[in-house]
Structure 1
Amino acid sequence: MPQVLEFRLPDLGEGLTEAEIVRWLVEVGDVVAIDQPVVEVETAKAMVEVPCPYGGVVTARFGDEGTELPVGAPLLTVAVGSPVGSAGDGADADSGAEDSGSGNVLVGYGTGAPPVRRRRVRPEGLKAAVAVPVASVEVVAPVPEPAPGPVAVVSPLVRRLARQHGLDLRGLAGSGPDGLILRADVESAIRSAAEAPAPEATASSAPAGERVALRGVRGAVADKLARSRREIPDATCWVDADATELMAARAAMNGAAGAGAPKVSVLALLARICTAALARYPELNSTVDQEAREIVRLPQVHLGFAAQTDRGLVVPVVRDAHARTTESIGAEIARLTEAARTGSLTPAELTGGTFTLNNYGVFGVDGSTPIINHPEAAMLGVGRIVPKPWVYEGELAVRQVVQLSLTFDHRVCDGGTAGGFLRYVADCVERPVLLLRSV
């Protein structure tokens, strides 16, 4: 006997309580297999694909793209154990007859089955699968009332147009077949809204202007930065350094590696310098337990680095950076940077950092006063490396100069410790041979 099973937004871990629907991977009427990804969502940590633990025919979806849902809210319903073979797709759908499902939650978090090709059931097949007498269907975990059903929209362009203008598609009557909402319907509604008289402005009215929701990754970054400024008494010191020898050392390392070998980046060299400096000044690799009024010095260096993406600023973390070579750090930075670019970073790769390196020189600026990545104790900022006049060995010369900025939590150390850390970093930039002492 067919069952209609409801799949709700699962607990995504890392204390996350909500997620935004970015892209549906299935449509109503599709046949899905156990553990097949059905929706892509964005949390405050990362983009993830959510697999469905049931196999069968999708009978309903809940939430448009761009909708923010809390954990536990309905995502979709699946008719399990239905005679989908009558749709002419063969017996592959038998895998959906398991009532218990797989028990897995997220792709990359224990789901081992490979994604299955999506198949659409022909209308007559869908009717055979789900159009059965109500008395003969056992409904498990029914959708709470009132529960919005899917909107009759086929074109993603129509959805995007409505979303850009803040238009709720559920309030529109479609002029297409069977009430299908067409682009003309959305454009007509937008025109009507634009022609409607604006409400009278009052003293308590909100300021006019474009509004951008602070949610997802951008919202999480905003909350963390605001909390950092509220809770951490930070201070910043900076110094200019002659990076000519560092750039020469990098060129020599890459030249010796040979053609086709991965190149050592400036960021990887700076990361290796940071781990050496933190070994000398462990006070800066710590956090503050405010309730216990204790400084917690951390044994491992999990080095975060700031990366700008289309979805906002993220800080991927290189685990156990203190135990890695420069090449190993560079390879991990390259891997995490690519994952950040494609939006495939996992929550685990974005949390647990103990110290952050921020290379804002890539934006063509010389310096800044970084905001500490709460709950860490310090961040090193690096400006662009550019030719500048510099007194070298008693004579004026053109050298490759960089500005280094250290923002630190004044609760964990005083200016002498922070200055010693920054001076050691600058000395290693100017004379990379100093790193040989800590190898």
Structure 2
Amino acid sequence: MGIHIIKMPDIGEGIAEVELVEWHVQPGDAVVEDQILADVMTDKATVQVPSPVHGQVVSLGGQVGQVMAVGSELIRLEVSGEGNEHLFKTRAAPAESSRTQAAAQAAPVAAAVEIAPAVSAPAPAAATVAAPAAPAVSAPHATTHAPARPEGQRPLASPAVRRRAWDLGVTLQYVPGSGPAGRITQGDLDAWLARDRNDTSHRTTGALYQSHNDETAVPVIGLRRKIAQKMQEAKRRIPHFTYVEEIDVTELESLRSRLNARYSTERGKLTLLPFLARAMVLALREFPQINARFDDEAGVVTQFGAVHLGVAAQTPSGLMVPVVHHAETLDLWSCAAEIIRLAEAARQGKAARDELTGSTITITSLGPLGGIVSTPVINHPEVAIVGVNRVVERPVFEEGRVVARKLMNLSSSFDHRVVDGMHAAEFIQCIRRYLECPALLFVE
């Protein structure tokens, strides 16, 4: 028997280190060739590492959440035959110093974050931190303290004191009274609360007001950490400003309903997003500076003719932004189908790397939860993001009459270093014209 060492693979694109987000095996497990051993994450996507051989797991080279250098030891397997351990021993001496330096750099990172959701699998259970146990609540017949009055004797107290005792879950039978004829005062109740009342009181309202002292530590790793880093970088580097406009989508919703009634069976159902995507494609022809990416380190803004539309999608692991490439070439149904396909791939953790990169502008929507207004964070290094709020029916004046109209806000953020406020407003007003007169979406 021999030892086969599997190194952290070189994923390409100049990536020097990756984050270990999930183990699929543990020491002692038998593995077969091509079985997935671990998931690792780069800045762009999650990659699964398969086993090249049959064997049994001897040891794991890192912990979930650890950032590991490409070429470092990922896992050891016991295999039939000689294995490959001897190949690495011959070069161990010259490599020792570099391995020590890499471990020193990786250790603080591993110690700082050790938690949960992976990109392509359900998040592991969070570790529960033990908190001091709450004192047990005793029944009325507890022997720690005797009742303040004989059993069956009604305690004397004002309605205000009784109400307060009820709210606090205190049984007045056990509270000594200092007033006339043993009447319980507010001061008596305060004194009782200052004592260890849990031995002789009980919650009259049951679990509804039960005290909870548990704490749950949820380390931020994997996709959750990438999202946090991305949002922090965007807010730190980009001077955001948000422009909100109300859109009357009554005619658009009527058109959408008619198209779905006629074509949904054979072409699929249309949501609002394909219409908005088409309106953005047309508006960006007039405002190419908004369909851009800003390399602020090089001081270069790159404007794109192609519209690679990022669509923010919520997944079990967190927010991801799959990309509808060349949205300008898609009709409504093709765009709708592509959005659905990409969102499902992202939710299942099966989106390819090129499906998660290269966006030039992004749409974000919470659907029915969209609220009245939002301040979306730009997907760095893009310079704009269009946020969709929910559609509501409200009364409006129209030619002196009060009529019901379907209204929706667009809350859009822009990079003020690249996009002037006037141009941002003109861009959104252009989108508004297309959406409020949807026939224009199909006229070149």
Report the TM-score range of the alignment, normalised by the length of the smaller protein: 0.5 to 0.7
Aligned to 2:18: 18
Selected match of 1:340 from 346, 354, 357: 346
- Aligned residues of 1:44 and 1:220 also touching (Cα < 8 A): yes
Aligned to 1:8: 7
Summarize deviations over 1:73-109 as a string: whole Å, max 9, x none. Answer: 3222234554xxxxxxxxxxxxxx9x8xxxxxxxxxx
- Aligned residues of 1:3 and 1:140 also touching (Cα < 8 A): no
CA distance in 2 between partners of 1:324 and 1:73 (Å): 44
Selected match of 1:141 from 88, 97, 119: 88
Selected match of 1:301 from 307, 318, 326: 307
CA distance in 2 between partners of 1:427 and 1:8 (Å): 56
One-letter amino acid matched to 1:272:
R
Aligned to 1:105: none
1:331 equivalent in alignment to 2:294: no
CA distance in 2 between partners of 1:327 and 1:284 (Å): 25
Selected match of 1:320 from 316, 326, 329: 326
- The alpha-carbon deviation at position 272 of structure 1 amounts to 1.7
- Aligned residues of 1:286 and 1:412 also touching (Cα < 8 A): no
1:28 equivalent in alignment to 2:28: yes
Aligned to 1:61: 59
SS at match of 2:443: helix
Percent of pairs with identical residues = 34
Aligned to 1:367: 373
1:257 equivalent in alignment to 2:263: yes
Shift in alpha-carbon separation, 1:291–1:55, aligned structure 2, 3 A = closer
- The alpha-carbon deviation at position 44 of structure 1 amounts to 5.0
Aligned to 1:275: 281
- Aligned residues of 1:20 and 1:68 also touching (Cα < 8 A): yes
- The alpha-carbon deviation at position 258 of structure 1 amounts to 4.9
One-letter amino acid matched to 2:313:
A
- Aligned residues of 1:23 and 1:39 also touching (Cα < 8 A): yes
1:164 equivalent in alignment to 2:115: no
- The alpha-carbon deviation at position 165 of structure 1 amounts to 3.9
Shift in alpha-carbon separation, 1:49–1:25, aligned structure 2, 3 A = farther
Summarize deviations over 1:171-203 as a string: whole Å, max 9, x none. Answer: xxxxxxxxxxxxxxxxxxx79x989xxxxxxxx
- The alpha-carbon deviation at position 401 of structure 1 amounts to 0.5
CA distance in 1 between partners of 2:221 and 2:31 (Å): 32
Shift in alpha-carbon separation, 1:393–1:81, aligned structure 2, 3 A = farther
- The alpha-carbon deviation at position 45 of structure 1 amounts to 4.2
SS at match of 2:256: helix
CA distance in 2 between partners of 1:9 and 1:393 (Å): 69
Summarize deviations over 1:118-150 as a string: whole Å, max 9, x none. Answer: xxxxxxxxxxxxxxxxxxx96332598999xxx
Matches within 5 A, 1:345-424: 345-424=351-430
Summarize deviations over 1:49-96 as a string: whole Å, max 9, x none. Answer: 2212x22212423057735241333222234554xxxxxxxxxxxxxx
- Aligned residues of 1:6 and 1:140 also touching (Cα < 8 A): no
RMSD, matched Cα = 3.2
- Aligned residues of 1:16 and 1:44 also touching (Cα < 8 A): no
SS at match of 1:383: strand
Shift in alpha-carbon separation, 1:259–1:280, aligned structure 2, 3 A = same
CA distance in 1 between partners of 2:63 and 2:35 (Å): 19
Aligned residue pairs total 334
CA distance in 2 between partners of 1:398 and 1:61 (Å): 67
1:425 equivalent in alignment to 2:372: no
Structure 1 stretch displaced more, 333-342 or 386-395: 386-395
CA distance in 2 between partners of 1:16 and 1:379 (Å): 31
- The alpha-carbon deviation at position 213 of structure 1 amounts to 2.8
Q: TM-score, normalised by structure 1?
A: 0.68
SS at match of 1:329: helix
- The alpha-carbon deviation at position 403 of structure 1 amounts to 0.4
Aligned to 1:175: none
Summarize deviations over 1:334-366 as a string: whole Å, max 9, x none. Answer: 011111222222332222111000113432412
- Aligned residues of 1:239 and 1:405 also touching (Cα < 8 A): yes
Aligned to 1:50: 49
- The alpha-carbon deviation at position 46 of structure 1 amounts to 4.2
Shift in alpha-carbon separation, 1:40–1:247, aligned structure 2, 3 A = same
Shift in alpha-carbon separation, 1:140–1:419, aligned structure 2, 3 A = same
Summarize deviations over 1:249-302 as a string: whole Å, max 9, x none. Answer: 111222221525411121122112111111221110112233443322122211
- Aligned residues of 1:369 and 1:405 also touching (Cα < 8 A): yes
One-letter amino acid matched to 1:398:
A
SS at match of 1:66: coil
CA distance in 1 between partners of 2:29 and 2:225 (Å): 35
Structure 1 stretch displaced more, 58-67 or 212-221: 58-67
CA distance in 1 between partners of 2:220 and 2:385 (Å): 24
- The alpha-carbon deviation at position 41 of structure 1 amounts to 4.0
